[in-house]
Structure formats: structure tokens, C-alpha cells
Structure 1
Amino acid sequence: MTRAAAPPILLQLRSSESVSEQVVSLRTLKNELIGHDQRKEAYVAGGIIPALAQVLALRRPGKAAAAESNGSAISQARSYQSSEESEACLQAILIVGSLAQGGPTFLAPIFASDIIPTLLTILSSPDCPSTFSLPILRLLNTIADRLPLQSQEQWPRDTRLADMVLSPENIGALRRIVAQEYSTTRSQTCIELAASLIGKLCTEEIHKTDLAECGVLDALAVKIASFVVAQGFVLPGAEDHLQEPGALGDIPPPAPASARLAPILRAVTVIIEQSKWRAEHFLSSPGIVTVFPKQVPGFASVDIKKGPWGSTYFSGSAVPRHHGGNPVDSLLPSVPLAHVKSSPSSANFPPLGNAGSQRRSSHSFPTPFSLAETPAPEEDENSIVPWLLCIIRSEGGMVRLMAARLVTVLFRLGLAKKHRVPMFSYLLVPILIRMLDKDFQLPQENGTSEDGLITATQHLKEEAPAVLANLVMDDQELQRHAVEGSALKRLSQLLKETYNPVPESSRPMWYPEGDSPALDPESMAPECRLGPPGYSPILCHVMRYRESILKALAALVPFKDEYRKAVCENGVVPYIIDSLKPRPSDAPADAVLMPKNTAADGNPTPTLLAACGAARMLTRSVSVLRTSLIDAGVAQPLFVLIRHHDLEVQIAATAAICNLALDFSPMKEAIISADIIPTLCEHAQSSNTKLRIESLWALKHVVYNTPNDIKMKVVEALGPSWIRQVITQDPVIALTRRGMEDEADQASGIAMGRVNSAGEQVDILNPMEDVGEPSEDFKMTDTMPPSKMSLDMFLPDARRRRRLVLHGNLEQSTQSRQDDIAVQEQTFDLLRNIICGGGANEMIDYLFKELGETELLDALANKLRPRTIQLQHRRESPTLSLSVPNEILISASAMIIHIAAGLPRHRAVLMSHDNLLRSLTNYFNHSHRDVRANCVWVVINLIYEEDQSDHEGCRARASRLKTLGVTDKLASLQDDSDLDIKERTKTAVHLLNSLLAP
């Protein structure tokens, strides 16, 4: 084994004594490498990457700061741009781009060098000319396109490039590039490449937040405003609002006809996805506010009369010129409203997604709590929503899809009116379904798309099902229209086609000796060592396509059993099961080069997650679970995935297993016999809260109506000390203390509050009706004077920026609170199911012994205890009463119900506790019907006389309950609005009166 010798031209480059000689050598290298992958391999092994890194490092701008301080930054940029040094740097950038075009095998040596940090430093310099910005952005996009090809197992989780490009040091360069005007073709291309880069790299929450806080989102909003101006959609009268706070001060210049809107829409969408606060930040950005000012009802001057006392009033015939409606809506067609139906508030299996703060049994953990997650008021919809719908109607291709994706995100975040559902049904759903057609083709498509890997049509097709999934996720009306449009049939056929053999896109490299050169990787530096060959672009496209189809199938079937049966009738269940199989860890090396795209080849992590979601939706159907899913063998792949190395896969697989563990499921015995319980118990103690909740939820189902020995094994595996620790925590106090710490850190005085979409202050724990005028720090900065737009204006003003940061912190706090509550709730439910069914009395004694009788009852009493907290930072009302979450009240009271249903000694233990029943009496008139019903059931079980031997015990307990005021509490429930509670109350009152009668 010998190390590769450096080619002559590379030696010439290294020995160059002048910059002009370097330029000649670099040009020759560029011409030799373009289109010749075999030569690229030889040159990389010979050390071209370190040589190029040295050229770029020597040309790194170091004089810009000094030049700028002398007021000569512009002249310095011009001289830098026209010098031979500039030409050498440019040629080196082009060569690196050519190497990256060779595929994933060349990315490893590029990342091992300092080339990317050096290029980002050049791009971030204030005097970076566009002649450098354009090739650097093209290079970064080329690398971003090929990173997913490196590893099928990790794709698309490689964030190395994103961490560098979207770091705080380099985000300013993206803002500067996006904020420039469409003055030349070069600047237009740079803007589109920067937006495309954001759309490809921005997947992490921290990056999305940074892009919003650093002004990139506002700069993108101005670009959208430019398209609005170019298309003539600026609202009438917008010129009258240019000098108002928050506006640009001038109408943005129109975007040129050749400018592309799709990359801008994609970048905005990926930034605001899954965050209402970032979406509101976008809608309140200067660009959007300028072209789409808020519409206020206006009256004609003749309708406004002046009274003799000086005040004004409206004439009797006064009507507003417009009712606050949207002028853009007049450009949209009217849609029929006859079929609009309101979704039922309660269903056997509630919807997917994140549409509200109410509890859903379809989730194994509560959805994030947010006061602002309810749909926006009717008058709060921004005009960008109907504008996007107009774009969907008039445009085609990727622009249409990106507009559909953005309007769907706004709709899911509650920033579009609910009456848009019929329009989505008749306008948007058919367009998305049309994109699922096998013969769908973008017009005038020539070869591959801009990434050089797959066609533009393939890009569109792999994203369309995911947009459809997000649109119909929580709405039965939209699901109905999609199913009636044959969406299930088309998606099922497409999923089958994703298992067709993938054509070979390239052949192995040919070498004169018949084999590749014998090189010793250990003797080579990392920047001279080629990476893995990676996967073909078409295979990765197929995997993304499969993932998107699975998401759409899962989103269409959560409510209707007939839809789930239709999926089975289309013969797609075996393909869903095949999609649950990961890529074998012991796959041969040549399988990467020539995959057969069979079930044995496995699937990457994102496809596994989507398949788990589809399997979970299908397992909601009893008939499907007992027939098609058993025949297809759904359990075994899930049992494998629950031990997968990826944490998200474990969570998704456990969520699907929750439905398999239900009492009516024929696979419950398979879970027990497959020894899955120890794994679930191990995951229940994971540091990841979602995995803990999912595992506890599954264990709750497993122990229901199972033999006592299985229940005891679960308690032993979890550990009595761990169970005691969970049930004794107080998430309410923890949340409040966390909020006070945030308030102290921010020194803002409103850390436990938030600003709603109307700009009003809302306190989560203690809502305020009047917050007065904002402080100086929260006031809007002065608007920019007309025609004086500069880069600084894209930095959010102090008020908007602090609001964005505050909302992000509050989302984390409320999510942590809900996670803590859910863990405790599921633990109590698990203990409740352990003492249910046959052998319940034995299990009550077992829990009293293992957990401690006093400790368990004290934990239950503490859940019911009213609590207050001292707020030292508040001058008024320093003591705050905190409400116990309904989930905890229901679970804790249900636990008491089942203990009270035990033996007389178990009831005596409950009665002898000092605070348990006294605290319970506070909730007989609770607003939640389940809490009230549980309180009545506790009374019934405590005084129900099972045999004559317990008659005196029942009388004693009834007398004690009367002393606690339970009789009066029951009297107040006799006219309860809930029929079940009324009937149960009659039973309890009858039992009490019978026992207390003389």
C-alpha cells in the first residue's frame, strides 16, 4: 500500500512563486477536473484539498476592517475584486464546487479541511463582492444537496453545514444578501440561492429562532412584499400607512419578472413552521405590514355628524365603506358552504397534530399548552392568506406548491379564518391531489432541477403528499374531500410504486488496472481521504417520496374506520409493514452502490417515523387490527424498532405499540410473550420526556386485566422508589418557580405573561385586564424615512425582538409543565390499572407494601391539596392561588375510587387519613365533569355495603362523610347538567340516607 503521488499540475500549484502563476495552475486544474470524477479522486488523494484551503486562507479578507475605518471600504472592495488575488480565490472556489459536484464521496475531505469556514468568513465580510458571493452560495447549495446522499441511516440529520452557515457569526451575511435589492441578475441569483440554502438547512429549532431574531425573516418578508407590489396586490390605501410604526416608510420596489418566488416562500415556511410566535413575527414584519396594512372599517365624512355639544356621532344611515374585510378576497371565487360541518368535539380517536390545548387521547403526551393556539379571531387574518390563495390559482409548479405549504402552515397555526375550510376543500385539495397523478409533469421541464440530481417534477411530487397531510390533519371535512377525490387510492398506488426497482444512475468507476488504486487510508490525512460513496439521488428521492406518502395516509384516516378499511382494501398494508423495517446494520458495502429497493434493503429514519405514524392510525380500528394487521405481521417490526438506536424511532414505535396493548387487541399477549415489558419499563425511566410518557402509556394498557404476576413484574421493573419519586412531584409549583426565575433573569416584569396576536398582554397564571402603556424598551423604534431602506432596518426593533424571545421561553416553560403533568398522570393511571380487575385487593395490599401505605396516600392527598405560592416580586397580591391541573385531579381521584372499591380495611385506611377526603370535598363542584363524577364515585364506593358484616363500617364512614360536608356537596349536584352525574348522585344520596337513618 502506497500513498498516491501528487499530479504534476498540483505540484506546480504548490511551487508557484507568484499569484499569477497560481491563477494559471488553478485554471488548468479547473478545466481538467470538471466532469471527470476519476481525476477528482486522484487529485483528492494527491492533496488538492489542502492546497485549495491554503489558497483560500491566504486570500481571506483581513484589510476590510481597517479600510472601513478609513472610509475606503468600497474602494477596497473594488480593488480586491479586480486583483489577481481575487481571481485566484475565485478559481479555487470553482474547483471546490466542481469537486462537490462529484457526489458525497468528496464531501468528507472538504469537511475535514478549513475550506467551508474560510468561505463563510469571506462571505460574511462587509466588502465581499458579488463575484465571490455567487460562487460561494452555489457551492454551499451543492454541498447541502449532496449531504443527504452520504448516509441513508442518518439522513437528513447531518447538521454540520447548517451549524456553520446558520451560526450567529454568519447569519448576518444571509441577511445582507437577502436584504439587497433585485438590481442586477447577479444580485437576484444571490438572493434566490441564499433563500434556497435556508430552505435546505434550516431544520433545527435553534436555527429557526436565530433566523427570526437576527432579521433574516424580516428581510425575506420584504422580498415577498416586492412580489406583492409587482403583481399589483398592494391593498388600497396602503400609502396612507407608510409612516406608521412598524412600516417600511416606502413601498418596496417591485420584483423583476424573472425573479423566483418559490425559494422565498420555502425559506419563510421552514422558519415559521411549528411556531405561532415566529409566524406572528413574520406577519408583523415591516414588509408585510407595508403592503398589507390592517383594514379598519371606515365611514364617509358625510356620515359623521357633529352634535351641538361638540362630540361626533354617526348618522342613522351610516354604514362602513368596508367591514374590515379583505379586498383580496374579492379576487377569489365563491365556494359552496352547504357541506360545511363542524367537527365533533368528542370522538373515539381525536385528531392528530397541534390544533389546540385540549387533551387528546390519540396522543401519548399532551399537546403543548398555549393560550394563543386557539384559532385567531375573524378580524385578525392577514391579507397574505387570500394573496397566497390567488398565487395557488394563478401560478404553477413549485411556486404553487410552496404557496400551498405556507398557507397550510398559517392555517394550522390558527392564523387563517376557519371559514377558509370550504375554500381549501374546493380549491387547494384538488390541486394537491392532481400533483399525485402518475402522469403529472411540470411544463417546460428540461432535464434535472437546479441541484443537478433529480428533476423538478420529482422534487414537487415528493413534497406534495406532505403538504396534503399537513392540510387535512385535523379536519374531517378536508379529509372527506380528499378521500372523495380518490386521494387514498392514488396514495396507495404510489406507495406500492416506491418499491419498484430503482434504475442504476451510474456505473462503478473504471480503472486501467481493473480495480481502484491501492491506497492506505490510515496513512492519508483526513482531507485527502475520500468518504463513503453514498446513495444514488434517485434512491433518496424514493425514500423521501415514500415518507411523504406515509404521512398523507396517516393524516387521512384518524377518524373514519371506513377510510382505514379502504387503505386495507387497496392492498397497501404489507407495504406499510415493509416500511417499518430499518436498513440492516450488517449490510454489505456494495449494497450502498447498487440498492435493489426491496423490503430487505430497509428504510432510513424519517421513513421509519412516517411508517410508525401510519401503523398507529391503522391500529385504531378493531377490525383492521384483528385482520389485515395481524396477517401482515405488524407487531414484529415494531418490537424491533422499540430498541432502535434512534430515540425518535423508539418514541414513534412505542406510540404504535400503545394501540397494540389495548385490552381488545389480539396482540397484547404477543407483547407480553415477546419480553417487551422490560424494555418499556427501561424507557419509562428515560431522560427523554416523550419516551417516558409513551412507555408509561403502553404499560398502562399492558397491565389492564392481566394476571397479578405480570403487574408485579412491572412495579418491580420500574422500581418502587422511582414510582414514589414521580407521584410526589409537584409540577404546578415547579412551573411557577421556573417562571419566576425566568422573570428575574429577563428583568422584564412579565415573564409569566405573553402578548397575544392583538398585541395585548396576557398573564398565564394571573390574567391582567389593564397593563397600561409599554415601557420605553418595548416601544416601536422610529420608522425609516422614505426611500432610506438600509440593512439595519431588517433587525427587529426592541419590542418585536423581546416579544419573540419571551414567547419562545414561555413555549418551553409551558411544554415542560405539560410534560411533567403527563408523566405524573400516566403513572397514576398505571397504578389505577394495576388495582383493577381480578385480584385487585391483592394488588392494593401489594402497592401499600411496596410504595408505603402512608407515602401513597400522602401523595394522593397532596395532589388534591389547594396550594398557594409567594410572589415576592409583586407588590400587589403577593400570594397566588394555583389550580391543580384537571389531568392530575382526574387520575388521582380515579386512584382513590379503586382503593375505595377494595376491602373494608382499605376503605378504613382512606377514612383515617387526615387530609385526603377533606381535600377531595373541594372538587364536588369542579368545572370538569370527570372530576365531579369521580368525587361522587368515591362516596359510593366508600359506603357501598357488599355484605352484612361491613354494615357498621359503612355507617361509620357515612357519618364521617356527613361531618365533612359531603351531604351538602351531593345536594348541589342533584341538578347537575350532566345526566350521568345526576344519576350517580341519586345513588350516593340514597346510600347515605339509608345508612344515616335512625
Structure 2
Amino acid sequence: MNSNKHTQAVAELDSLDPFVRVKALRFIKNNIIGNKTKKDLYISLDVIPKLVAFFKTQEGSDSQVQIQAAIVLGSFAYGGEDNVAELVKHGAVKPLLECISIRNDSRLIEAAARALKAIYKCPTADKNDVFQDLHLRDLVTLLNPDSLNPKTDREKIASVHTAELAATIIARCCDTNDQQIQIASAGAFPALVKLLVCGYSKAQEAALDALAYLCRENPDFGSKIVDTKSESVDSPVKIMLNLIRDKSPTMQLISAKCLTHLSRANAISEHFNDITLIVLPTLVKLLDEKGPVREEAPHVLAYLIRDNEELQKAACDSGAVLKLADFVTHVGDQDNSYYDPLGDSDKLKENALMALAAVSSLTDEGRKLVVDAKIIPHIVKAMSHRSYGVRAAACQCTRSLSRSVNILRTNLVDAGIATPLFKLLSDESTDVQTTACATICNIVLDFSPMKRTIMEQGGIEKLVELVNSPDNTLRLNAIWALKNLVYHAESEVKDSVMKALTYQKMEELIEDQEIDIQEQALNLLRNLACSKPHDIEEVFRGLGEQRLMNIIESKLCLWNSEIIKQILYVINNIATGAEYHKKAIMSRPNILTHIKNYMAHENPEIRVAAVWCLINLTWTEDKNNSSPGRVRELRQFGFEDMVKNMMNDVNLDVREKAKTALSQFSQP
């Protein structure tokens, strides 16, 4: 490539004549728009620092120079994550944010906002600068097209376009709850709701997108959006329901997305029929569109129906499964343009798999439709896909399907899912590892025929390795999988797990800072000390009696209900062992006191667990042992009176267990 003219253009940026600079900037702009090779060339010529300097020095304050420089910076930002990283490295973001003040030329504001929109399109871009100084205030101000005092029709259109850009930037800066709070505090809700009725579709779409992200997983903000007064007589929800009927598929999609986020935030429960009869069918219909709309629709659909059995059934009835299955089957892995020339086929496949995972997560009806679509071999193949998102989605789909014992025993076994799934435990992506580990939690349960396959391939050792991961979710899933592996397992399996994990490591996990990991570690201990006196004895030997009792006693003092429940079942399992094991519990008055106190706990599951402990402590199959002595001691502790009171418990299961316990106090 002859780079002389490009080198000359970069050199002309140092001219003191603004006309020469503008001419050079326009030359660079015309060369790099849509041309990655030229963008790379100019980056290698260190043009970005020169562009940024125009916003920092007095001599570069000519508005035309800055406008053209902002346009060029925006063009670079559309070149991908590496280009955005270069812009950030050279400090381009703060000067661009300073340009969006209404004190500046409206054309400069628009050019800077467009560049910022491109930068923040990159998911890895740091959003912190937006929340510094008065930049967020300026963005919210720009949401009102009148803030730029437009006089002509052309200026009015430009000001609405600037409002659209501001809304888009805000939508991309809602990654955390704290960011949502700061944006809301700056007055974004009324400004965005006002933009919904501005009459310009692109600005309306941007406002919908921003509102969707502001209420994502945020019930408080969902309610505030719903209660925000609009300039029209309609409520924000009514406006959205009208916009979802727009002829534009993009408007339909973003309206459905915003209503989905409000629904997931439990802010519009009274509109459940609208969600079922309007939003869900719209999303299914959009699966027939082309390009980005079809690519995004499965993602929104998956989010809408996740954790909701009724909506999953409605999705099944709508014919969504066959459409989604068609994407998984026919989207080309080698030729991105084969199926959807205007979209990203990898993303479409990922989103389709996630939607199939959602539709089959709670109902056998959904799982059966997925199996009947004959795509399980394609799901297995997707586990080796080049895209980590597709691999993770394939794992998630397998996880949903594996909740059916019948499917697990037949279709997934026949498809040979175990081996590719196990390989993903070593995937380069932590997200894939995490999802694969969560899937393995299902397939290593005792009933699974794939359990042996996972173990033979070194599954125990790999899971133990992942327990030491710096990622807390991956650690949680790994300990969860080990817990399931030893559930109702043979003693040999338990011994193999603890040989690899060690009791010392399990003890560390029981004291982990993450309460969820503590819970699963205690559940592992519960499963180890289950079924056979030999297994209980191995736990006593591994931890030592005193240390084991100390752990039990300390965990009984916590306020977390799940921890209490798990430790009570640890006691319960130990109490099913030999006389020696029962005596270890009986020798600890504090443990007995806690058990008695938890028999009056507000949670019926904990009351049941506590009574189970008493039942096993008083149970005996040999009338010659010391059961009568234990019964007398427990009576002196006040357990019999406690059980009598529980005969009137509001919970049937508690009453039944109390009846059993009381009968054992009455035996000679």
C-alpha cells in the first residue's frame, strides 16, 4: 500500500492553519470509514494522539477541527475492541464527554455523542468516566431535544437525533445497580418517558432500550418507570404496548424487550395477560425476521420465559421450539452468510440455544418438544463450537434437558453427551467451564448412567481442581457437583472423592467467606455421612470427632436458614450410625440445646430437620443397647414436652414427625 499520502495527511494535522487541518481530517475520514485496513494504517501512524490533542489545547479549539476529529474518532471506535482500547489508552473518552455540554456547538455535541456511542458499544469499555464531573447531567439534559434551542426544522431533527444518541449512551452505562441509581438520580426516567412520545422512531427505540436496562433486575426502578407521568394521557406501559404494534420489527423488538424487563422486575404483574398474549407472540413472530432483529429475539424470549412455567408452556404452544430448533440445525458453522446475511450466525445460534434451554428448564412438555425436534446431536456438536457463547449455551440446554431422568437415560446417553461435556471443564472460557460444571451437577447424580463415564475420565480430579478456582461461581458449581457425586453413592465413590479433595480442604470450604459455598460443603458432609456406619466412621476418622462436633456446634449458631438445615441433617445422618456416633452428639449439651430450640423455628423445614435428629437419637433396633438412657437424658432436656407441643403444629409434615418422635419416648 502506498502510504505517502496518508502519512502526509497525518503530518498536516500539525499545521497551524485550521483549513489545512480540516482538509486533512476529511481526507482521513473518507479513507477509514468502513475500511479496517486503513484504520489500522492510521493507528500505526499514531494519528489518535493528534486527534485527542485537538480537544485539549487552545490552538485546536476551532469547532470545525473538533467536529471532524470527533467524527474520525467515532469511525475508529467502530473498528472493534482493539480500536476502542487504543482510544481509551490515549485518553479520548474524557475530552469527548466534555464536548457534550450544551455550552458547545450543537454539531460538535452530536459528533462527540456519536463517537461515545460507538465507544460504549464495546462491552469492555470502561464506563466510569460518564459518572465523573457533570457528564451524566449533560447526557440527561440532552435527552430533551429542546435543550439545544433548535430554531429550524433541520435543527429540531438534529436535536432529536442527539437525544437518541444520549439515550443510547445511557443504555450502555447501566451495567451495575450503582450505575442505575446514579442515572435515575440524575432525572433520566421522566426525560426518557417523554422521549417515548416524541414521534421519531429511532429516538423512541433508544429511550425504550435505556428504560429496559435501567429496570433490569431492579424491581424498585421498574415500579418507578411504570409510575412516571408522561406528557400523553397514556401510562408508560400503555405507550410501550402501543409501540409493540408498530410496523417496524425493530420497534416491536425493543418494546418487547422493555416490557420483558419490566415483567421480570415484577413491576407489571397486572399486565400478565398482555405479556402472554402480546409480548410473547410478538417475540415468536420476530423469529421469522432477518438480521439483527431475529438474532436478538431469541435472547429476549429466553429472558422472558426463564423461571416461569406458564410462559414456557405458552412458548411451546406458540410453535417457538421448532423455529429455534431450525436455527440450531441450519445456521452455518463455516459460512456466516449462509443463513442470515445481515446478522451474526454465531450469536443467533447461541441465543436460540439459550431460548431452548429456557423453554425446557421447568416442563417436561418443553423437553419433549426439544427432543422431538431431533436437535440433540446438534447440541452435542455445539459443545465444540468456535464461539464460547455457543458452547456455554449448548451446556445450558443440556442442563435443562438433563432434569428429565428419561431423557438423561436415553437421548443424552445415546448422543454421547458425557465426553464433550467433560472436555468443557477445561475450556479456555470460565463462563463455559461454569456452565459445564453446573450441567455435570445433574448428570453425576446416582441415577445417571453417565456418572461412571465422568469418573473414568478423571472427573473427580478435575472437579477438585475447579474447587480451587478464583471464580466463586465456578467453585460453587464444582463443590455442588462433588456433593451430587457422593449422593447415595457407594462407599468406594465417597472414598475416591475425599482422597482427591481431602478433609482439610472440605473443612476450609465449610468456613469459606461465600455462604453458598459453605452450604454446599456442608451438604457434601451430609452426603458423606449417609447410609452406612462405615461412611459415618470415615467422616469421624477424616475430621476427628472433636473437630467434627466443633464444626456442628459452630454452624448451629449461624442465622442462615440453609446452613442450619444442612447442619441439622448432618447431625441426623450421624445419629443413624452406631452407638458411638450417637454418643458423640449426646455428649455435647450445646448441640442438644440448639436442636431443641430449632424445633420451634419459624421455618417448617428446619422444624422437620430438628425432629428428625430427635427421632434418630432415640431410635433403636436393639432393645439391649443404651437407647433408654438416651431417651431419659433427652426427656430431662425437655425434648418430650417440646414434641408434645409440636403435635399441634400448623405443618402436617412436622406433626407427623412429632408423632413418631413422641411414640419413641413412650416405649419402655
Same fold (TM over 0.5): yes
Report the residue type matching 1:410 in the other structure. Answer: L
Pick from 206, 211, 224 the counterpart of residue 183 of structure 2.
211
Does residue 261 of the first structure (1) align with residue 230 of the second (2)? no
Partner of 1:576: 379
Partner of 2:95: 118
Pick from 390, 402, 425 the counterpart of residue 607 of structure 1.
390
Does residue 221 of the first structure (1) align with residue 190 of the second (2)? yes
Please list the CA deviations of residues 544-594 of structure 1 after superposition, one character each: whole Å capped at 9, or x if unmatched: 22222122112211222232121011011122223323xxxxxxxxxxxxx
Partner of 1:858: 550
SS for the counterpart of 1:915 is helix
Report the residue type matching 1:835 in the other structure. Answer: A
Partner of 1:159: 125
Shift of 1:961: 1.4
CA distance in 2, matches of 1:461, 1:47: 39
Shift of 1:940: 2.6
Q: Matches of residues 527-546 of structure 1 in structure 2 within 5 Å?
A: 541-546=344-349
TM-aligned CA distance change 1:7 to 1:913, over 3 Å: closer
Report the residue type matching 2:22 in the other structure. Answer: V
Contact 2:13 2:20 in 1 (8 A): no
Contact 1:4 1:45 in 2 (8 A): no
Partner of 2:276: 425
Partner of 1:637: 420
TM-aligned CA distance change 1:105 to 1:714, over 3 Å: closer
Please list the CA deviations of residues 703-749 of structure 1 after superposition, one character each: whole Å capped at 9, or x if unmatched: 123343442343354443443355468x9xxxxxxxxxxxxxxxxxx
Q: How many residues align structurally?
A: 661
SS for the counterpart of 2:537 is helix
Pick from 607, 618, 623 the counterpart of residue 943 of structure 1.
618
Partner of 1:177: 142
Pick from 207, 216, 219 the counterpart of residue 273 of structure 1.
216
Please list the CA deviations of residues 54-103 of structure 1 after superposition, one character each: whole Å capped at 9, or x if unmatched: 44443588xxxxxxxxxxxxxxxxxx7xxxx2222223333444555566
Pick from 893, 900, 903 the counterpart of residue 568 of structure 2.
893
Q: Which fold has the larger relative contact order, with Cα–Cα distance below 8 Å and residues 6 or more apart in sequence? A: 1
Contact 1:936 1:988 in 2 (8 A): yes
Does residue 92 of the first structure (1) align with residue 103 of the second (2)? no
Shift of 1:664: 0.7
Q: Matches of residues 96-495 of structure 1 in structure 2 within 5 Å?
A: 96-100=73-77, 109-123=86-100, 125=101, 127-144=103-120, 147=122, 157-160=123-126, 162-165=127-130, 170-181=135-146, 183=150, 184-200=156-172, 202-213=174-185, 215=186, 218-228=187-197, 255-256=198-199, 260-283=203-226, 288-289=228-229, 383-393=235-245, 396-417=248-269, 419-437=270-288, 440=289, 457-495=290-328
Contact 2:446 2:489 in 1 (8 A): no
Please list the CA deviations of residues 787-821 of structure 1 after superposition, one character each: whole Å capped at 9, or x if unmatched: xxxxxxxxxxxxxxxxxxxxxxxxxxxxxxxx51x
Contact 1:178 1:220 in 2 (8 A): no
SS for the counterpart of 1:994 is coil
CA distance in 2, matches of 1:640, 1:207: 38
Contact 2:190 2:229 in 1 (8 A): no
Please list the CA deviations of residues 124-158 of structure 1 after superposition, one character each: whole Å capped at 9, or x if unmatched: x563211111122223334555x4xxxxxxxxx52
Partner of 2:541: 849
TM-aligned CA distance change 1:269 to 1:955, over 3 Å: same
CA distance in 2, matches of 1:655, 1:562: 22
Relative to the length of structure 2, the TM-score reads: 0.89
TM-aligned CA distance change 1:291 to 1:107, over 3 Å: closer
Pick from 346, 364, 381 the counterpart of residue 561 of structure 1.
364
TM-aligned CA distance change 1:275 to 1:939, over 3 Å: same
Contact 2:225 2:236 in 1 (8 A): no
Partner of 1:244: none
CA distance in 2, matches of 1:46, 1:980: 76
Shift of 1:835: 1.6
Flag the structure with higher helix content: 2
Pick from 518, 535, 538 the counterpart of residue 824 of structure 1.
518
What percentage of residue pairs aligned between the two structures are identical? Answer: 28
Please list the CA deviations of residues 752-805 of structure 1 after superposition, one character each: whole Å capped at 9, or x if unmatched: xxxxxxxxxxxxxxxxxxxxxxxxxxxxxxxxxxxxxxxxxxxxxxxxxxxxxx
Q: Which runs of 5+ in 1 are unaligned?
A: 62-79, 148-156, 229-254, 293-326, 329-382, 441-456, 506-536, 582-598, 732-818, 868-883
Partner of 1:241: none
Partner of 1:715: 498
TM-aligned CA distance change 1:37 to 1:88, over 3 Å: same
Shift of 1:117: 4.0
CA RMSD of aligned residues (A): 3.3
TM-aligned CA distance change 1:424 to 1:18, over 3 Å: closer
* More displaced 10-residue stretch of structure 1: 200-209 or 256-265: 200-209
Report the residue type matching 1:392 in the other structure. Answer: I
TM-aligned CA distance change 1:904 to 1:269, over 3 Å: same
SS for the counterpart of 2:344 is helix
Q: Which runs of 5+ in 2 are unaligned?
A: 151-155
Shift of 1:435: 1.1
CA distance in 1, matches of 2:142, 2:651: 61
CA distance in 1, matches of 2:503, 2:517: 16
Partner of 2:22: 23
Question: Between Structure 1 and Structure 2, whose CA radius of gyration is higher?
Answer: 1
Pick from 626, 629, 644 the counterpart of residue 956 of structure 1.
629
TM-aligned CA distance change 1:653 to 1:433, over 3 Å: same
Shift of 1:855: 2.4
Report the residue type matching 1:177 in the other structure. Answer: L
TM-aligned CA distance change 1:935 to 1:36, over 3 Å: closer
Report the residue type matching 2:382 in the other structure. Answer: S
Does residue 498 of the first structure (1) align with residue 497 of the second (2)? no
Partner of 2:437: 654
CA distance in 2, matches of 1:405, 1:177: 24
TM-aligned CA distance change 1:130 to 1:12, over 3 Å: same
Pick from 674, 689, 699 the counterpart of residue 482 of structure 2.
699
